[in-house]
Chain A
């Protein structure tokens, strides 16, 4: 399992448009990818899952990936977060 911790910097937090990009990206990997925020863990391949966390600005989130392509998967997700200006 690999994991990364990220701080959200976008003013509206993880909102619909970047969440869509994240889910679509996650769907391309075989690994199970999860997001953890405030003791709640959801599947990153689910838009309802991510949106239901209501992740605001300044939130610390933990992303984990388990599976054959876990390294690539987590890197791809972190890249999306950076490119979308969501966090660092």
Chain B
């Protein structure tokens, strides 16, 4: 029994058994054996079971992630059948008369060391593949269960230290009802994925993996950021009620699905969604999104062994544009680097990756990569309402250079006989303070701004958003942030351009009234936040909020701002 607080990362209530997604204890003892034949049989059995599991994981991955991603499991399967791997293990058992665990460990370590010492970073990373495969076999030898998100076939709550993007990609919504992790925040990768999968999640609990035992009944309260382990009958009942209410609320929201977003005094704003893959579009439509305000294209590049081809990208962009028809789709060009790495690009490790070689900085230097993406986008533009946005722009020169490359590719495609839309808007993310400050100069050249608050806040406050010890500095309502946002919006409007926001802040119920008052035109958020936001905006008077603007901008602290808004909007 226990009640743990964490960070509400994805709303809703989930109730199910705990399932630990952690590497089990694989420690073993060295034993002298009597019969090498028996020991080898044990090894073969563990290998066969592992192969069967990998076959199934491969099949699942094909369905959920596509053939390309599933291929890595073919390589894993080959390792388990490889005589170069298996024979040395058998030899060690026979000659040294030791148990299979020792022999497996020795042989695997020999290969792992060999890979780790290679010159090529890609090959060094392959040590992790050998480790992965070996751990599975070891788990079977020791007869401890080896967790595998793709193999789950009953309703569970995932309990883990953290979830990697590939872990989350393997989650099956039919069985995974929610998840909770030790680390992470509202903007960490796992939290964002939870919202796009629409499963309740509580992250940053620090201790959940120690507190929840396998098969304990667990409640994940993604509304208030709580996890309850082995609830009492009374607690269970009250949460089932809360779950029912949430479902009812969701049905209420659903009534606004096809309604426009209008404030109480009749002013229209646009509510659009953040997506990562073409599969996310159905969630945008079912949640009443008026378009896509941020399509993160990184996912096309992640979790694979090479760059995606122009054709692969074209198909993804085309699919998103077609599904949304006339509705706008803002595609952000590749934002890799920082905390998002690509093994196959072999980029040097940086001391300060968020301030380093990432996003547009990388694309302008590696224009071979950039051009392929731009070509795919331009070709796809005939299939819908495309807008292109460059990330991490710090100077006007960067924007001009990126735009020039885009225009070159456009001319080249035209001369190759391709057709494309001639009304593609070209804008930038405003996430670097220098760009926010220089917004009036930018506004003369760009078609739109989208304020990326996750990064803008961390750069303005000089606080790493992944570092829990400085997380108190992550203050979206800080007057410094509000003044920057206001400055950007005013700059856009002075040139007849529009300004949107695509950070987490855009879907926040305290920030929404502020942003409405500051004149924001477009709010881009997780699809599941759209209907609650629309409900909220229908009760807000824009004229009244505009009246608070000067007062808010001159306030001294984030708390003061929050108190004021809570009072005025009864929250």
**Is B78 touching A20 in the complex (CB atoms < 8 A)?**
yes
Q: A47-B75, A51-B115 are in contact. Are A13 and B120 (CB under 8 A)?
A: yes
Q: A48-B82, A48-B111 are in contact. Are A16 and B126 (CB under 8 A)?
A: yes
Q: A12-B306, A20-B71 are in contact. Are A47 and B123 (CB under 8 A)?
A: no
**Is A17 touching B119 in the complex (CB atoms < 8 A)?**
no
Q: Closest residue of chain A to B118, judged by CB?
A: A54
Q: Interface digits, A13-39 against B, CB 8 Å rule (1 contact, 0 not)? A: 101110110011000000000000000
**Is B305 touching A16 in the complex (CB atoms < 8 A)?**
yes
Q: A47-B79, A48-B82 are in contact. Are A17 and B72 (CB under 8 A)?
A: yes
**Is A56 touching B120 in the complex (CB atoms < 8 A)?**
yes
How far does the alpha carbon of A82 sit from the alpha carbon of B516 in the complex, in Å?
Answer: 58
Residues of B within 8 A of A43 (CB): 83-84
A46 at the interface (CB under 8 A from B): yes
B85 at the interface (CB under 8 A from A): yes
- The answer, among B72, B78, B305, B344, for a CB contact under 8 Å with A23, is B78
How far does the alpha carbon of A47 sit from the alpha carbon of B71 in the complex, in Å?
Answer: 14
- The answer, among A15, A20, A24, A42, for a CB contact under 8 Å with B122, is A15
Of the candidates B71, B74, B78, B129, the one having the most CB atoms from chain A within 10 angstroms of its own CB is B78
Q: Closest residue of chain A to B114, judged by CB?
A: A52
Q: Closest residue of chain B to A85, judged by CB?
A: B306
Q: Tell me the smallest distance from the CB of A53 to a CB of chain B, in Å.
A: 9
**Is A47 touching B78 in the complex (CB atoms < 8 A)?**
yes
Residues of B within 8 A of A19 (CB): 75
**Is B123 touching A51 in the complex (CB atoms < 8 A)?**
yes
Q: Closest residue of chain A to B346, judged by CB?
A: A12
**Is A15 touching B305 in the complex (CB atoms < 8 A)?**
yes
Q: Tell me the smallest distance from the CB of A40 to a CB of chain B, in Å.
A: 11
Residues of A within 8 A of B120 (CB): 12-13, 54, 56
Q: How large is the interface on B (under 10, 10 to 19, 20 to 34, 35 or more residues)?
A: 20 to 34
How far does the alpha carbon of A12 sit from the alpha carbon of B83 in the complex, in Å?
Answer: 25
How far does the alpha carbon of A12 sit from the alpha carbon of B345 in the complex, in Å?
Answer: 8
How far does the alpha carbon of A52 sit from the alpha carbon of B129 in the complex, in Å?
Answer: 13
How far does the alpha carbon of A19 sit from the alpha carbon of B346 in the complex, in Å?
Answer: 19
Docked complex: B72-125 residues within 8 A CB-CB of A: 72, 74-75, 78-79, 82-85, 111, 114-115, 118-120, 122-123
- The answer, among A11, A12, A47, for a CB contact under 8 Å with B82, is A47
How far does the alpha carbon of A46 sit from the alpha carbon of B79 in the complex, in Å?
Answer: 8
Q: Tell me the smallest distance from the CB of B370 to a CB of chain A, in Å.
A: 16
Of the candidates A24, A47, A48, the one having the most CB atoms from chain B within 10 angstroms of its own CB is A48
- The answer, among B84, B118, B126, B346, for a CB contact under 8 Å with A49, is B84
**Is B84 touching A46 in the complex (CB atoms < 8 A)?**
yes
Q: Tell me the smallest distance from the CB of B301 to a CB of chain A, in Å.
A: 14
Q: A16-B75, A16-B305, A51-B126 are in contact. Are A46 and B114 (CB under 8 A)?
A: no
**Is A46 touching B71 in the complex (CB atoms < 8 A)?**
no
**Is A12 touching B122 in the complex (CB atoms < 8 A)?**
yes
Residues of chain A at the chain B interface (Cβ within 8 Å): 11-13, 15-17, 19-20, 23-24, 42-43, 45-49, 51-52, 54, 56
Q: Can you identify 20 A-B contacts, CB atoms within 8 angstroms?
A: A12-B344, A15-B306, A16-B71, A16-B72, A17-B74, A20-B78, A42-B84, A43-B83, A43-B84, A45-B83, A46-B82, A46-B84, A47-B82, A48-B82, A48-B85, A49-B84, A52-B114, A54-B118, A54-B119, A56-B119
